[in-house]
């Protein structure tokens, strides 16, 4: 079973879903399409916007056999680097787990955990797309949790103008490439 936790800040509007929630939800849907089992836990209850929150994603080829909170994470993804000072993002991260931070510059954790930084916001902006698509691509590139083609199909089938869908697909690929690049 693979476990990932996504950290971000709540959107201040009820009708907007933050990328740190939208991306793992798309990963969950992609995994289902590939016949895998998933458990996706978005943030809960109404809280003020900008509150730090997490979303948990579990993916397995076999049925997932627990609902416990305690996690042994294969990856942690942080969409907002300002969270690093506020929240212990590495709690539960396996020794060999990956930490991906969306940041243009480099970041360092006090306990010297290796951090992978990619400017996913920059990539999204360059392709005139939302952060979600770039984030999705990057996570797939880093973890191979699902196939890139499955994510493509999902984005293609999403509602929205053709231009937006194309932009998202481009950002997806760019995020993927940037994660694969060493």
Partner 1 sequence: MATVELLTSNQAAGRAVRLARVQVIPIYPITPQSAMLGEIARDVQAGRLKCEFINMESDYAAMAAAIGASLGGTRVFTATNSQGLLFMAEHLYTASGSRCPIVMAVVNRGISVPHTRYADHNDALGVNRAGWIQIFCEDAQEVLETCLQLHKICEDRRVRLPGMFCYESFIHSNTAEGVSVPDAEAVDRWLGPPRVEALLDPADPRGLNPPTPPEWYTEFKYAEHQAMARALTVIPEVAATYAEAFQTKPRGLLEQTEGLKRCVVVTMGSLVKAARRAVKELQAEGVPAGLCKVRVYRPFPVEALREALGEAEVVVALDRNCASGGRGALYEEVRSALYGLPKPPRVVGVIGGLGGRDVTISQIKDLVQRAARRSSPFDGPDGTVHWLGLVRDRVRDESPQFYPAART
| Binding interface with partner 1 (CB under 8 A) | 25, 28-29, 32, 36-42, 44-45, 64-70
Closest distance of CB 31 from partner 1, Å: 8
Closest distance of CB 129 from partner 1, Å: 22
Is the Cβ of residue 32 or residue 107 nearer to partner 1 in the bound state? 32
Closest distance of CB 36 from partner 1, Å: 8
Is the Cβ of residue 32 or residue 116 nearer to partner 1 in the bound state? 32
Closest distance of CB 122 from partner 1, Å: 30
Is the Cβ of residue 69 or residue 106 nearer to partner 1 in the bound state? 69
Query: How distant, in Å, are the alpha carbons of 39, 62, 84, 103, 109 from that of 1?
Result: 10, 8, 26, 28, 27
Residue 115 burial by Cβ neighbours in a 10 Å radius (0-12, 13-18, 19+): buried
Residues 133 and 141 sit within 8 Å (Cβ to Cβ): no
């Amino acid at each position: 079973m693979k476990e990932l936790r996504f950290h971000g800040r709540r959107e201040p509007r009820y009708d907007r879903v933050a990328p740190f929630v939208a991306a793992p939800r798309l990963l969950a849907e992609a995994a289902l399409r590939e016949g895998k089992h998933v458990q996706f836990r978005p943030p809960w209850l109404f809280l003020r916007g900008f509150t730090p929150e997490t979303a948990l994603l579990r993916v397995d080829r076999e049925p997932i056999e627990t609902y416990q909170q305690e996690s042994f994470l294969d990856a942690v993804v942080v969409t907002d680097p300002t969270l690093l000072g506020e929240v212990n993002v590495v709690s539960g991260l396996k020794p060999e787990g990956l930490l991906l931070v969306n940041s243009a510059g480099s970041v360092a954790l006090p306990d010297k955990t290796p951090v992978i930084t990619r400017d996913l916001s920059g990539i999204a902006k360059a392709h005139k797309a939302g952060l979600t698509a770039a984030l999705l691509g990057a996570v797939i590139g880093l973890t191979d949790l699902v196939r890139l083609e499955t994510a493509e199909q999902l984005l293609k089938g999403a509602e929205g103008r053709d231009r937006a869908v194309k932009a998202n697909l481009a950002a997806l690929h760019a995020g993927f490439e940037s994660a694969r690049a060493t």
